Amino acid sequence: MTDFPQDYETFDLGDFRLQHGATLRGAQLAYKTFGELNAEKSNVIVCPTWYSGRHWDNEWMIGAGMALDPTKYFIVIPNMLGNGVSSSPSNTAPPYDRAQFPNVTLYDQVEAQHALLTQRYGIERIALVTGWSMGAAQTYQWAVSHPDMVERAAPFCGSSKTSIHNFVFLEGVKAALTADAAFQGGWYHEQPEKGIRAAARVYAGWGFSQAFYWDEIYRDVWDSLRLRTKLTFSSLEDFLVTYWEGHFLGGGPIFHERDANDLLAMLWTWQYGNVGATPGFDGDHVKALRSIKARLIAMPAERDMYFPPEDEDYASQFIEKGEVRRIPGVWGHFAGIGDNPVDSSFIDDVLKELLKGKGGLV
Amino acid sequence: MTDFPQDYETFDLGDFRLQHGATLRGAQLAYKTFGELNAEKSNVIVCPTWYSGRHWDNEWMIGAGMALDPTKYFIVIPNMLGNGVSSSPSNTAPPYDRAQFPNVTLYDQVEAQHALLTQRYGIERIALVTGWSMGAAQTYQWAVSHPDMVERAAPFCGSSKTSIHNFVFLEGVKAALTADAAFQGGWYHEQPEKGIRAAARVYAGWGFSQAFYWDEIYRDVWDSLRLRTKLTFSSLEDFLVTYWEGHFLGGGPIFHERDANDLLAMLWTWQYGNVGATPGFDGDHVKALRSIKARLIAMPAERDMYFPPEDEDYASQFIEKGEVRRIPGVWGHFAGIGDNPVDSSFIDDVLKELLKGKGGLV
């Protein structure tokens, strides 16, 4: 795991106590910032990473003239614990290494990020938290864990509580990965490639909608903001190997290596996502949503197969200043990854609108 | 594989030549019949099996007072080649055994069934072909392969051409199953249980809709016509193990053993399903649909995740006497398996209506 961009900073979380009891000693939160923190410390945007994503995967959202404009805002991308850049199974020293890496909740993720913002930067208010997929889950968690700190929230293609169906989808991904004997219960010395490739193939059916495949959109040229390149695939199999297996396995021209235990650590965090599990809410998801003070615009994708927009309609009714804007089109969940300019623009426009509202800088 | 009900007959297909070139010597078609063939041989209904299904899995559709009434009709349930009862990887002698079992197309499946009907029974007309899922694919294939023989067709939760997304979903199932080293490229002596269980978990996210899980319908009591028992599950995990792993692995209280190579043989048949691949159509799916003479009612399920109803709307426009009736509700693909009385009644009602039309017996 040495092929990563080294363009990030780290924050020492010290002896980081996790919600489920373990202490991750010397835990490191890796992050990258863009722009300058202003004197009032009022221009902060937090943009957490997604499942298997690293900070550079969120950079497509940032640019002069975009909502996340580094000439106006101080933008922080914290790497989720477990993602291979922050403390993770793949980079933690024994005894909490590899298969023994402890369960990390979304509450824990946000507490780590909160420590960074408050202790290193003295930040007390966040203008916006926004993120895709598990980044959306962290966005919701921020709004619940720190309701007086978060002014605006824009979770896209994600949820405040992982649905049962979503949990089942992830069971399939996990089962495929761990079916490979080379996984060795997590104590491998070489990545279980066959299992990782299998997990990627399972994921391929879920990431995009049925209509995306029907329309053979993988044959089109994609001007990917995220990967800063044009993508095109010569066949379905080329798409499955290059985009999907490449995404999970890394080593291809456009992706970086991922570790099996890291993938499983993040998967656990995702499966047990629930803002109701925040201390003080006793598991009550609705009560947790009712506590949100931020203006919150959820952006589910119209044809997302595992975060269907109906789920966000349901959640939104409990959020006082909550609303839902559906991302139209056929990209499904991957509408939010930054590979499709049309969907990326939709998201950016909503973020701009949200930031222009009361309390915004513009 | 000795725990099967032995309540079926076999038809010797002889040296059965397959569309892709192989000859399956001494191929056996296992089937079961219900009711009596009338003197005019005008009361024939064919009901092909689904992916991993065996003849007894279709028997829920048959009963006095139901559309498939054995007091009126001569009903034939042919076991699909590859399903473990008819010739399959698991029961074929070398050299075409196990991983070397040849690719069988839907065209081949129907030719085998055609040989049975014509050679053993002298049947020239079929009042109705109907089936679920891959049974629906065989139904379409019947209507294309033998347009002058099939009077009515009622494919439910299936398609005339496997969509690209559906193909990708199956890639995930296949990858999970074959990720298990115990699979040994198909040359195992013991079933690759871990891989089969993984495939089952992958399937679990697809078989039912998101809303099915959201509503926790697995907790309800199911009065399963198919399994002739009431089913209820104590938790999500119980449902995943008992229903899903039990379904794929067999050996549980309600299911029979399945073989990994058999599952993969049927999967290939499914992935390459396309009525356009019928000789004479040169791959032209639309041309093949236009050749159908049967009155055809397709019944996609409203929330089917891999046979979405839009696909059937598309196909139906090319079928002269074609129409579409959507099965409402949240069961998704499994609306058609016979475990949900409401959906089973919907299907039965449409079949009754179809049989009452011109040329019907009632």
| DSSP per-residue letters across B38-93 | -TTS--EEE----TT--GGGGGGGB-TTSSB-TTT-EEEEEPPTTSSSSS-TTTPP
CB contact set of A250 (below 8 Å; sequence gap of 6+): A3, A256, A257, A258
> Which chain B residues are within 8 Å of A165, Cβ to Cβ?
205, 208-210, 212-214
Alpha-carbon distance values, A233 to A217, A218, A237 (Å)? 9, 6, 9
Give dist(CA B246, CA B337) in Å, integer.
15
Inter-chain CB proximity B180 and A178 less than 8 Å: no
Go through chain A and tell me how many residues it has: 362
Tell me the C-alpha distance between A347 and A327, whole Å: 8
Confidence at B360, pLDDT banded by 50, 70, 90? low
Q: A-chain residues within 8 Å CB-CB of B165?
A: 205, 208-210, 212-214
The number of beta carbons lying within 10 Å of the beta carbon of residue B347 is 24
Task: Report the pLDDT averaged over residues B235-259.
Answer: 86
Distance from CA of A4 to the nearest CA of B (A): 28
Confidence of residue B249 (pLDDT cuts 50, 70, 90): confident
What are the beta bridge partners of residue A12? A28
- Rounded to whole angstroms, the Cα distance separating A156 from B147 reads 50
Cα gap B243→A227, rounded to integer Å? 41
For residue B9, the one-letter residue type is E
Neighbour order of strands in the sheet with A9-17: A9-17, A23-34, A74-78, A44-46, A128-132, A152-156, A295-298, A322-324
Q: Do B165 and A209 touch (CB under 8 A)?
A: yes
Under a CB-based contact definition with an 8 Å cutoff, are residues A169 and A206 in contact? yes
Across the interface, of B180, B206, B305, the residue whose CB is closest to A179 is B180
* B201 contact residues in A (CB cutoff 8 A): 168, 171-172, 174-176
Say yes or no for a CB contact (<8 Å) between B164 and A214.
yes
Q: What is the pLDDT of residue B26?
A: 96
pLDDT of residue A70: 98
Cβ of A182 within 8 Å of Cβ of B180? The answer is no
Neighbours of A213 (CB within 10 A): 23
ipTM: 0.94
Predicted TM-score (pTM) of the model is 0.96
Contacts with A349 (C-beta within 8 Å, 6 or more apart), sequence order: A67
**A236/B179 CB distance under 8 A:** no
Mean pLDDT of B255-270: 93
For residues A49-59, one letter each, b for 16 or more C-beta atoms within 10 angstroms of the residue's C-beta and e for the rest, the string is bbbbbbbbbbb
Please list the pLDDT of chain A residue by residue as tens digits (362 residues).
456 778 999 999 999 999 999 999 999 999 999 999 999 999 999 999 999 999 999 999 999 999 999 999 999 999 999 999 999 999 999 999 999 999 999 999 999 999 999 999 999 999 999 999 999 999 999 999 999 999 999 999 999 999 999 999 999 999 999 999 999 999 999 999 999 999 999 999 999 999 999 999 999 999 999 999 999 999 999 999 999 999 998 866 667 789 999 999 999 999 999 999 999 999 999 999 999 999 999 999 999 999 999 999 999 999 999 999 999 999 999 999 999 999 999 999 999 999 997 655 54
Q: Is B349 a catalytic residue?
A: no
Quick check: B114 pLDDT over 80?
A: yes
Q: Check if the beta carbon of residue A346 is closer than 8 Å to that of residue A352.
A: no
Non-local (6+) Cβ contacts of B267 within 8 A are: B51, B170, B173, B174
| A to B CB pairs, distance under 8 Å | 134
Per the structure block, which two tokens stand in for B227?
Answer: 């399994």
Place of tokens 């495949």: A213
Yes or no, beta carbons of A204 and B168 under 8 Å apart: yes
Q: How many CB atoms lie within 10 A of CB B356?
A: 12
Q: Which of B164, B179, B194 has the CB atom closest to A213's CB atom?
A: B164
Residue by residue, DSSP assigns B211-263 as: HHHHTTGGGS-EEETTTTEEE--SSHHHIIIIIIIHHHH--SSS-----HHHH
Provide the pLDDT confidence category of residue B250 given band limits of 50, 70 and 90: confident
Of A108, A304, A339, A343, which one is the catalytic site residue? A304
Residue B291's CB: how many other CB atoms inside 10 A? 19
- So what's the pLDDT on residue B362? 46
Per-residue pLDDT for B238 more than 70?
A: yes
Rounded percentage of chain B residues whose pLDDT exceeds 70: 97
Q: Which residues of B touch A270 (CB under 8 A)?
A: none
Please give the Cα distance from B297 to B352 (Å, whole number): 12
B230: amino acid identity, one letter: K
Q: Which residue has the tokens 């700190």?
A: A149
CA distance B353 to B360: 10
Q: Is the pLDDT of residue B158 over 90?
A: yes
Q: Residue B43 and residue B36: Cα distance in Å, rounded? A: 9
Task: Tell me whether B236 touches chain A (CB under 8 Å).
Answer: yes
Q: Which has the closest alpha carbon to A231: A249, A243, A241? A: A243
Query: Which among B273, B277, B4, B242 is positioned nearest to B159, based on CA atoms?
Result: B273
Residue B168 has pLDDT above 80, yes or no: yes
Encode pLDDT of B29-47 as tens digits.
Answer: 999 999 999 999 999 999 9
- Other Cβ atoms closer than 10 A to A9: 11
Which residue in A166, A168, A204 is closest to B172 by CB distance? A204
Residues of A in contact with B305 (CB under 8 A): 210, 305
Alpha-carbon gap, residue A94 to B87, rounded angstroms:
53
A189 is catalytic: no
Q: For B316-341, give one letter per residue: b (16+ CB within 10 A) or e.
A: bebbeebebbbbebbbbbbbbbbbbe
Q: Is B165 in the active site?
A: no
Residue B361 has pLDDT above 90, yes or no: no
